[in-house]
Amino acid sequence: MKLKPRELIIGIVAVAIIGLATWIWMAPSGNSAPDVHFTLLDGKKLDLSSLRGHPVLINFWATTCPGCVEEIPELAKLYDRLSPKGFEIIGVAMSYDVPSQVRAMQHDRNIPYPITIDSSDAISKAFGTIRLTPTSFLINPAGHVVYQKIGNVDVHKLAAKVERMLHKQGS
């Protein structure tokens, strides 16, 4: 089957538009992170703005998401290694997660970083209505989103970014 030039051009333009839209959405925005409020599983309250001055990873995940469960051990190791230097991770369980399952997963998998359940979808909406998990946002010490990723993060690249931020802070 031979494509007509017009069909070929329409196809190329459609692919270019989709690619551009994806690039714009996925490119580090530099926009200020939303000032969201978390109620952690242990009942403590936390505002994202209170973490200003620290690099922070916001990780949206679900107990039913194989990729999310797969990356938890690597994120836990990263947190254990870099949290003493000021790095923070907040795990945000999706609204459809059953709270008892989230608590069980935190306990069973020894997740060391704080976790909240986004029961009203307010946190998801503040970050652009998260639809796929895992989705992660890295926020620099100045409070700007500098990296966002749908899917599992490359923990080695993430660690390098965080270590550069921590090094700049210590300079």
Per-residue confidence at 49, pLDDT binned at 50, 70, 90? very high
Residue 22 pLDDT = 46
Per-residue confidence at 21, pLDDT binned at 50, 70, 90? very low
Per-residue confidence at 29, pLDDT binned at 50, 70, 90? low
Confidence check: pLDDT of 11 > 80: no
Task: Name the pTM for this structure.
Answer: 0.83
Residue 18 pLDDT = 54
Q: How far apart are CA 167 and CA 169, in angstroms?
A: 5
Secondary structure class of 57 (helix, strand, coil) = strand
Q: Who wins on pLDDT, 4 or 21?
A: 4
Render pLDDT for 57-109 as a digit per residue (tens, 0 to 9). 999 999 999 999 999 999 999 999 999 999 999 999 999 999 999 999 999 99
Q: Domain 29-170 carries which CATH code?
A: 3.40.30.10
Domain ranges of the chain: 29-170
The proportion of the chain whose per-residue pLDDT surpasses 90, expressed as a percent, equals 80
Average of per-residue pLDDT across 147-169: 95
Are 103 and 138 contacting, i.e. CB atoms less than 8 angstroms apart?
Answer: no
Are 27 and 15 contacting, i.e. CB atoms less than 8 angstroms apart?
Answer: no
